[in-house]
Copies of this chain bind each other. A is one copy, B any other.
């Protein structure tokens, strides 16, 4: 019901967000909204060398959490909200957060959690 590929895919996204620098970058992307933001502006905002930023952006793009489109000399970066939705969906569905929240009683060996 859930392919191995999916798990590896989601793991790669979690890993990408697990680095504090990358999480900061991703948060900046999200805050930029659908309009996105150029790499250069992102660099100003976060304050890390361009090569480091590029490295992290490549990882965010590789796992699908972000995307880039060229606009002349500027490269505009955007968060892929739908992918984050997928990730949250995975965490909630696979890890039955809701079920756990709903049943604070000890009787949670239900099939929902198995």
Binding site for B on A (CB under 8 A): 7-8, 10-20, 23-24, 26-27, 30-35, 79, 81-82, 84-85, 87-88, 91-92, 94-97, 100-101, 103, 106, 108-110, 113-114
Assess A34 versus B88: contact at CB under 8 Å? Given A11-B20, A18-B15, A79-B95. no
Q: How many copies does the complex hold?
A: 2
A-B contact pairs, 11 of them (CB 8 A): A8-B20, A10-B23, A11-B20, A14-B18, A14-B23, A15-B18, A34-B109, A79-B100, A82-B101, A85-B100, A91-B91
**Cα distance A97–B8 in the bound complex, in angstroms:** 21
In the complex formed, the residue of B with least CB distance to A112 is B33
Whether B34 pairs with A108 at a CB distance below 8 angstroms is yes
